[in-house]
Every structure is written in C-alpha cells, then in structure tokens.
Amino acid sequence: MKKFILFVGMLVCLLSLSETSWAAQHTVETLDYQPWYEPAGLTIEVGDTVTWNNPSFHTVTHIALLTTGKPVFHKMLGPGDSLTHTFAEAGDYDYLCALHPWMKGKVLVRPGRVSPAKKGEIWVAAQFQNAIQIIDPDTDKVVDYIHVGNNPHNIWFTPDGQYAYVTSWHEDDLWKMDVKSRTVLKKIEVGPAPAHVYVTPKGTIYTTVMGSNYITVIDGKTDAVIGKIETGAGPHGMWPTPDWKYFVVAESHAADAAVVDIAQGKTIAHIPTGVVPLGAGVTPDGKKAYIGNGISGTVSVLNLTTMKKIKDLTVGGLPVQAPVNARYNFVVVPNKGLGVAHIIDTARDKVIKSIPTAHGAHGADFSLDGRYAYVTNTFDNTVTKIDLETFKTTQIALWGGPNTSGAQGVTVLRTAPK
C-alpha cells in the first residue's frame, strides 16, 4: 500500500511538472528611447510569465488603472528594478508608463498555444518592429505578432495558404513562414534590399531586388533560387496581369515601369513614369496599369496593349502603392506625404476622393469581398479600414506606441491553410 501511495505521489508530481513546463518566461526590456519597450508587442499564452527590466525611473502600468482603477499589474520601478507578472487569463493587456504616458506596449495572451489561421485575416509588415502583426477581420483587432527578418517590407502567400513569404528590406533575404503554426521556417538569400514578392498560381516565387536591377526567381518546391530576370535600376513594387502573362514593375531608380514576360523570363518593355515609382497595380481586364511616383507626386496610367503612358494624375505628396479593387474598379493609392488614400475611378482615370487615413499612408489591400480597403500608416501605428461603398473609415490599432510599428506592406490571406 505504501508503495502504491508513493507511486501515485510521484505520478502527480510528474504530471504537475509536465503541465507547468508549458508555461514560458518572457522578458521585456524597458528603454529610455523609442520604441520604449523591446518588444513593444508580445504574444504569450495563459500561464506564461513576463518580466520587465527597467533602466531608470518608470512604471509598468496596465491601462485599466486609468479606466476602472483596477489594473492587473502596476509598479513603480527605479534603476535596475523589475516587475514580474504571470498572466492567468486570455486577453489584450495594453500598458504604459504612468510617468511618461507616451511609452506604450501591449501583451496579447492567447488561450491556446497557437491561434488558428483564418481566411481573410490581414498580415501587416511592421518594419520598425521586425515583425508581422496579424489582424482578425471580424474583430478588427491584432491577434498575433511574429518576429521575422530585418525590416520586413512586403508579404505574399502560396495559393494554398500554407506558407507566407516576407521580404527583409534591410537584408539580402526572403523569409518563409508557416501560416498555420505562425512560425518562421527559413531564410532564402535573394539579393540586396528585396522589396516586393509574389507567388504564382503554380507556386513559383518572384521577388524584386531594389538594391540591384533584377527579379529573383525561386522554385516553390525546393525554395532554391533558379534564376534572375534583368529589369531596370531599383525594381520595387510589382503587380501581375490577371492571366499571369506579365509583371508590371515600378523601377524606383530608373523613373519607368518594366513589363516582364513571366514565361519568357525577360523584360520586354520600359514605359516612362514619374520620378521614384514605388508601387504598381493592374486593372482586372489587364489592359491598364497604375504606378505611384513618390517624388513626382503623380500616378501614371499605362496602356499595356500599346506599352505607352496614357497620362499622369497629379496628387501631390508621396504616393506609394496603387492596387486596383476589382469590385468597384477603383485604384486605392496611399499617399505617405499627405496621410490620405486617393480613390481613382479606372473608367475615367480621375481621382474621385482623397480620404484621410493617418501619418505615413503606405500599403493597401482589400477584404475578401472587396468592400473594404486596408491602408497601413507607417508613422501612426494604425491601419485605416476604408468602406469603399460609403467611404467611411475605421482606425485599427496596431501594437506598440506611436511610430513604433512602421507598418508598410499589407496582404490579406485569401485561402486558409488546411
């Protein structure tokens, strides 16, 4: 009997150790300069513990102190002090320094070890945080935060939604991520300053290499580099025609757009644009392309049948990307200099609206049904959701304090992984 009781006791201890071994320890370094916390956004699980290390005089204060007077954690810290807290419940925990309220951070506590991937979720390249932030389209809230690369700039998914490829603009690398498990799998060396990336329906990967004059071609089965396509100088944003016959490539150092024949693997035309073209978009019929010219403050309209420029639309500021919405036949052009998104009617090639977003409007993509545009705001730590039916807007908060995420590219997941 004593042996049995001893066995049961040992078994209970082992099970307890097994259960608690899932709990993880996380560290946040408080900084006296932006982004104020490293990391500013942290994703953990119920039962995990976070320790904030402090360099000078700050508090770590759950925002509920200001709203309900009942913070989950709050402590005044001096130089060398720390605060440790174990999170027992799932939820969003925004916090700040009560002495310096512009210092803001967030902890997202998930109920399980991995949040499920959802069709329609919005992936945002948070370039200043070296991370991807993922927004739930049903709640308009960030649900995941994944560290990846050095200044992640642009994202694209494989046709089956299994993998995401992320350009690392301040490196030579393209990063491969597993969408379902939210994990980084590998990096692929593609050349200096990779900017935008696309995956064809057959799974071949193409990424522009802005620090040079080519597009790198990657085998989607092996992730091996299998070729390069020469363009002009500084290829940045690009967009395929609907039949995947051509890429239209904004060549930021050449003041034109290259038209690349995908099957032939070569550039077949160069069409003049404005100065520092950055983003490209193509109409659903494949007949026209739009290019955002950052320094000229214009949007070039190109004829893809004649391979000539039709006109320039003057918008001022610093227009960037120019994706075309197939539901409304609108081009949505974020303007980084003006903090607006221009809406261009493709039937008339005329700007019909300039909708305020926030500081540093940069990237854009559309909801699954095409009704909403999501515009990233690099210097405001938000994504602006634009209803293209009513032109009303909603601001979606990203993790971190002001000017800490550096939101750039945004891509909607159109197929959930199995």
- As a whole number, mean pLDDT of residues 289-296 equals 98
Strand, helix or coil for residue 323:
coil
User: ω into residue 240 within 30 of 0, thus cis?
Assistant: no
- Report the CATH fold assignment for 199-412: Methylamine Dehydrogenase; Chain H (2.130.10)
pLDDT digit string (tens) for 115-125? 678 999 999 99
- d(C-alpha 227, C-alpha 218), whole Å: 7
Lay out the sheet containing 152-157: strands in order across.
Answer: 152-157, 163-168, 173-178, 183-189
pLDDT digit string (tens) for 164-181? 999 999 999 999 999 998
Could you tell me the two tokens for 259?
A: 């038209």
Residue spans in the chain of domains classed CATH 2.130.10.10? 199-412
Residue spans in the chain of domains classed CATH 2.60.40.420? 25-110
List Cβ neighbours of 191 (8 Å cut-off, separation of 6 or more): 172, 209, 211, 212, 214, 216, 228
pLDDT digit string (tens) for 228-282? 999 999 999 999 999 999 999 999 999 999 999 999 999 999 999 999 999 999 9
pTM over 0.85, yes/no: no
The arrangement of secondary structure in 25-110, i.e. its CATH architecture, is: Sandwich (2.60)
Could you tell me the two tokens for 222?
A: 């092996």
